[in-house]
Amino acid sequence: MAVLSDPISDFLTRFKNASRAHNDHFSAPFSKTKAEIARILKEEGYIWNYEVDTSGEFPQLQVKTKFVDGTPALTDLEKVSKPGRRRYVGSQEIPRVLNGLGISIVSTSKGIMTGSQARRQNVGGELLAFVW
């Protein structure tokens, strides 16, 4: 198993690659952070479902990608905060993605949530990614 310097970027890249290749599912090593991101992607309609597979030596996050009429629900995504360059924003500085057509994912003191949820709860945090 390879050591990753940025496991969140790896998870998001696997998601983008699976969508573009029209794969109906993909797997990634499990972590609580990735599971929370998958929960948000499910709530926002970018994936069908996700589950944790503990049958192997290491737990895996199994994600079922979503397609609408053969077109991926995911158009694109952009990783914002990286290990060498973290980006922190206040609640009023959280950008809107494509005028509300996409979502931003923010890691806050109250957990990982979408940018609109963070704005409503008036909390800022680390801006992880934009998804549209």
Is 89 in contact with 125 (CB distance < 8 Å)?
Answer: yes
How far is CA 131 from its chain centroid? 8
- The CB-side HSE value for 14 (13 A sphere, CA atoms) comes to 19
Strand blocks (E) in the chain = 25-29, 47-53, 60-65, 67-68, 71-72, 77-79, 88-89, 103-108, 111-114, 125-131
Tokens 């499990």, residue?
Answer: 30
Is 132 in contact with 121 (CB distance < 8 Å)?
Answer: no
Domains defined for the chain, CATH in brackets: 7-72 (3.30.1370.30), 77-131 (3.30.1490.10)
State pLDDT tens for residues 79-131. Answer: 999 999 999 999 999 999 999 899 999 999 999 999 999 999 999 999 999 99
State pLDDT tens for residues 18-41. Answer: 999 999 999 999 999 999 999 999
Is 47 in contact with 65 (CB distance < 8 Å)?
Answer: yes
What is the pTM for the complete model shown? 0.94
Determine the Cα–Cα distance for residues 51 and 87; give it in Å rounded to an integer. 29
